[in-house]
Amino acid sequence: MQPAQFYPSFAKPWSMQLIDDVIYTTTSQGCNGVKSGVYAMNLADPNHPVSYFQSSSAGAGIWGRAGAAATSDGALLVETGDGPYDANGGKLSDTIIKLSLKDLKLVDYYTPANRAWITRKDLDMGNMSPVVFKFKNWELAAASGKEGVIFLVDVKSPGGPDHRTPLFRSPLYANEDVDFAGHGFWGALSTWEDPSGARWLYGPAWGPLASTAPKFPIQYGEAPDGSVMAFKVEVKEGKPVLTPAWMSRNMSYPEPLVIANGMVFALSSGENVKQVDSGGRLLTSKERIDTPAGNATLYVLDAATGKELFSSGATMPGFSHFSAPVVSGGRVYVVTYDNMVYAYGLGAS
């Protein structure tokens, strides 16, 4: 596996989905003056009408790297970030929200029982995109956030009758020190069904494994900066659960994962994700750019064992910011912050 040519990049990553001639996208932080929420544009209508769902009157942005997730019953699922909370008033911060397609009306939602603490500690859930998949008799969504736990919900009724009860809530796997900037799960969760029919779930974890977390049967050393955490989805006492399977080598703040041909493609970003210094001062963008944590590194791992099959090493000197690898046409593409696109062939090295 060797790097191909280098090309300049002029676009930032942007998550959109095209479903039945309607484009969906999510926004956050009021970037460029646009309100946070979910947008839908109907391309089948010559007037291209736009529908909008405002996740909250303030805050509660949605910036999971994979955008919204579609369900088989004609809906979207998104995770929101910190902000005001008033379910009766339509203010649903730090919540998994289910919306109807096209007109983006609120259908259902799940809010964690400890939502107030999550919001108070700035442990947004809006930094993650959920993933939807079939398992046994369920259609499940897996979701997470900075807190460092993973939820499994039934997409038909994400939070049950009280909107506060998931099918499964994991133990704490990351962010034992409650770091709002550099620990927890970030970006998006990924899933894979192996040839035997077993269902897997993968999460890009930032920071070390929590000391109270269940042990992974396979672990490739300490991972103080981050890792890929792999779980099997299983049934226990009639409900789906996550069982730890393997944890990768140390990675510098991994990006969302791609699974193809029994392999996990993981990008260690090398980004400086710290937002404040030791004195609590907010760091400038330039300070973070000038002091990266390392360089971007592409890893290829065995999807069932986590064994390292390939590393790009120092091939990419720059770091990556809010990106992810893309697998297409027998190549793996990676974008770095210094405006470069790298292409790696999947053939023999």
Q: What is the DSSP string of 192-240?
A: EE-TTS-EEEEEEEESPBPTTSPPPSEE-S--SSEEEEEEEEEEETTEE
Q: Rounded to whole angstroms, how far apart are CA atoms 103 and 21?
A: 13
Q: Rounded to whole angstroms, how far apart are CA atoms 245 and 227?
A: 13
Return the SS3 of 138. strand
Beta strands 91-92 and 69-71, pairing class = unpaired
pTM higher than 0.85, yes or no?
A: yes
H-only helix segments in 44-176: 115-120
> What would the mean pLDDT of 199-211 be, rounded to a whole number?
98
Structural domain spans, the chain: 3-345
pLDDT at 30 over 90: no
pLDDT at 103 over 50: yes
Q: Rounded to whole angstroms, how far apart are CA atoms 202 and 88?
A: 34
Specify the higher pLDDT residue, 11 or 40: 40
Confidence band of 4 (pLDDT split at 50, 70, 90):
very low
Instruction: Give ∠ CA 320-322-328 in degrees, rounded to 5.
Output: 80
Q: Quote the pLDDT of residue 275.
A: 86
> What would the mean pLDDT of 317-322 be, rounded to a whole number?
95
Confidence band of 56 (pLDDT split at 50, 70, 90):
low
Specify the CATH number of the domain 3-345.
2.130.10.10
Confidence band of 58 (pLDDT split at 50, 70, 90):
low
Find all residues with CB under 8 Å of 66, minimum gap 6, and list them: 15, 129, 131, 187, 188, 256
Confidence band of 118 (pLDDT split at 50, 70, 90):
very high
Confidence band of 57 (pLDDT split at 50, 70, 90):
low
115: tokens are 């939502």
For residue 285, report the phi and psi dihedrals to the nearest 5 degrees: -60, -40
